[in-house]
Chain A
Amino acid sequence: MDLQSETIEKIDKLVPRYPTMKSAALPLCHLVQEDQGYLSKEAMEWIADRLDLQPINIMELVTFYPMLRTEPTGRHHIRVCRTLPCALAGAYQTCKKLEEAFNCKVGHTSADGEVTLEYVECHADCGKAPVVMVGEDEYTNITPESAEEFATKLKNGAL
């Protein structure tokens, strides 16, 4: 496993703070995923080994928590909230516009590897619906009318 020294440092600082090693499993999944982009079989085995656990103890978390991934995403990871308040504000139409703009079906990664487009559940910002996340950043009021402009800005690195 080739982790950045900063990640190792964070992990070494974090593990002893918890009363049990196993409690650090989910935080370590986050840190390793942030470092590697996803959690490979090798990564899960590494985390298990670091915490004196069995690989299954990590794999059962990865298959339970939706944010943990076993495959890399495209360069931009776009998450469109589709839960009721966002849907009432047009989230499904917003997503259709994004599908067209990036030539990528929702639930997939575009052929050029530029974007992964996903539906996600409520992100707790329903007052500014529809909500779209790109990587770790949140964008609000991405209506069907403004979705195209949003996509153009993202493509041009102007977000």
Chain B
Amino acid sequence: MKKSLFKAIIMICCILSLCACGKTGGETTSGTASEGAKEIKIAYQYGLAYAPLVVCQEKKMIEEAYRKATGKEVTVTWTQMSSGADINTGIAAGELSVGFMGVAPAISGVSKSVGYKIFTNLSGQEHGMMSNDGSINSLADLAGSEAQIALVNIGSIQHIILGKALSDNGYDAHLLDANIVAMKHPDGMAALESGSVACHLTSSPYIFREHENAELHEIPEINAAWPVRNSFIVGVASTELHDQDPELYAALCSAISEAIDYLNSNKEEVASMTCEYDGNSAEDELKYLEKGVYTPDTKGVYELSGFMYENGFIENAFSAYSDLVFENVKGD
């Protein structure tokens, strides 16, 4: 008994010493590594809304901007993640310096003091809700019904847009929460087309594909609640990167802005570059790119944060736009 207890104590000591080998108080590796081995880790997600990042990555714009400004090299590590929640955790853990995600999870992250702020807008895209049920033509038809609405996740930007559309039309923002079925965009589209759900609230390019289906029709209030010019995907940067490495932060901002400008001036070339990633033909990709708005300036972010606070999506209110974004970000 004594011998096994002794062994157990030894094992615990080993585990504790292994834990102690981890990171120590507040150090982050990303963006603040020692001279000569500088690295910046960036996470983003899949889809058309992230197209400028493909340009930035392929043309090594961050590396180039940093070299031009300082004469030094930086290694940029791009990682694709499947949700804003994962990126939030990565930044909070100090494993990532930069992330791109939907504006709603970004606002949630700032309110939760994950340790970042918005450093750029990336794109605005078309959102909409399509239905296969002829008796559902407006939110009024959905109020009080049991019709199921597929959308990507509770707490996602699509969920917030649904709440905002309801609120804009005089309903409680959570009126249709019980009607939601959380599923990814392609599954939601398949469920709508097979008649398994009555409605699907989605974003580009799925909304465009659903527009092409003559058996489906759109519920107009959703698109009106969050038009295409409003921010959809934003970039967030850790406060450590912003405060401790202003040169790299400036290079990051200028490279993303350059990538957006490049996309806006060379849509055909970019479409051929990104179509393979998005699973579209080059013609469709170009069509979809032309429907999106790619700009580094935000729109509607502060207003959205107020709506999220008033309707219980976040617990803390923001007193000013500057609480959400770094000083270089233009917009509202």
**A and B co-occur in one complex:** no
Residues of A near any B CB (own CB < 8 A): none
